[in-house]
A and B are shown apart, each in its own frame.
Chain A
């Protein structure tokens, strides 16, 4: 790999002991970057899926009447309102059993629902792309059943999206830290190389080598080491993702993140080693050029 990438070099950079750790460090960086990027992409997919899942749906909650016998007439009146609303595609009253099932995590198993003032829930689905005046609907329903509410899930969704976006920002910060750490490491390694090979660099300089000629040799070496380490990190990252995906695949549930990565996800992660290697190459080049500018 290295021999394939590295062109003939006038400097013995391939014998530098201090640069041998660079591929391993870059491998670690790319490994972490793969996990961070995968996290960002997966969270992005989840946000989209949730958004699509709750957009165009409503939940109408009808509070219980003071007199139990009024519950069913109120429910029917509300259903009539929903039926007369053109933007509503479908509505379905959620059964008491299912409501109790949903409440079970908080209330435990309830054997006699008559002991509890359980609200009636109606699952509403709008026509695709339809815009419903929620306030008007709430007003209409409250005239029939005071204290009722219409939940379009936006509050819940916004909170979840905010949470996910915060996590995504953290992941991006991790990526930036990885980039900075890579740059710092390459700067350090390059400066070590400049110090170790200063005599050979002096000779090249004195026989008329342009700064770019000398810098190109360091840059080529950094690119080769970056690609080697980057590909190793990518492989390790993919193995880790597959392991995590396998573990999560055993779990069932709508809210469990789906680790299924699509083609462009793989493309982005595949570009990580190249990106890190290019960063290493540019950093090495700039470090050498900056150092050589101090020479006559």
Chain B
């Protein structure tokens, strides 16, 4: 088993044991996948097109059920977790989809508000946090704009804002640089690093090796449906780089969470909202 951490005993956010996945009666697209992601880790999921990166992410954010093996999320074994409890687990996971998956009939504001609303947050709380976050990502003047009227980069920011608004403990991004140029891609990665410094476990599926090599985080290599470690994993200690700590450029997002993914008012803020805006 690959342990994507330097300490096995750390809190396991994601744990896969001998997981296999096949679509219908076809061959296994993922075979014997075993790994553990601990809290605060940052990984790139790399591999050639068709290697199964998106499928692996879908398994993590509970969009797919594995054909075999065990998946555990935040310490909960998914096969034995009652179905009504799964939404609470999903609310702890933020996903930046490759194709954004924004709801075109809703405004940017309402798209970002979705995770809070499904968590039952009061509208006053939703308004406060969504407005703050959209301002932070530089979309203050586009709050009521619908996604089709936004540029690709703006849609990307809305998608990211939606993924982080409820302050997920695990952030997954599927080819987030696929629709942007290299400069934008690097800026985006810096954003994810900043979120990681706040304690969010991050997994980014990408085939952009320039970004991967320049940032030097841990890598999970998928090769022909099998997972291989490519390099040593680095783990960022969230406590060492705290909100009020040494990094004054850590941006602020008014997002909240509790240990079970339910929304509450215990918000923390990045210190410099303008940082993210400029980075994007």
Contact = CB atoms under 8 A, between A and B. Distances in A.
Contacts of B162: 207
A98 interface: no
B114 A204 contact: yes
Contacts of B150: none
A208 B118 contact: yes
Nearest to B93: A208
Task: Determine which residue in A211, A213, A296 has the highest number of CB atoms from chain B within 10 A of its CB, and name it.
Answer: A296
B64 A208 contact: no
Given A204-B114, A208-B119, A12 B95 contact: no
Given A15-B105, A199-B101, A204 B118 contact: yes
B260 to A, nearest CB: 11
Given A10-B110, A296-B86, A210 B64 contact: no
A203 interface: yes
A200 B103 contact: yes
A59 B84 CA distance: 73
A206 interface: yes
Contacts of A211: 84
Nearest to A293: B83
Contacts of A208: 87-93, 115, 118-119, 261
A209 interface: yes
Contacts of B95: 206-207
Given A10-B103, A200-B103, A209 B118 contact: yes
Interface residues on B, range: 20 to 34
Contact of A213 (B62, B90, B118, B261): B118
The prevalent SS among residues of A at the interface is helix
B187 interface: no
Given A10-B110, A296-B62, A207 B105 contact: no
B16 interface: no
Contacts of A213: 118
22 contacts: A10-B106, A10-B110, A15-B105, A202-B63, A202-B101, A203-B101, A204-B118, A205-B90, A206-B63, A206-B90, A206-B95, A207-B95, A207-B115, A207-B162, A208-B91, A208-B119, A208-B261, A210-B118, A211-B84, A293-B83, A296-B83, A296-B86
Interface of A: 10, 12, 15, 199-200, 202-211, 213, 293, 296
Interface of B: 61-65, 83-84, 86-93, 95, 101, 103, 105-106, 110, 114-115, 117-119, 162, 261
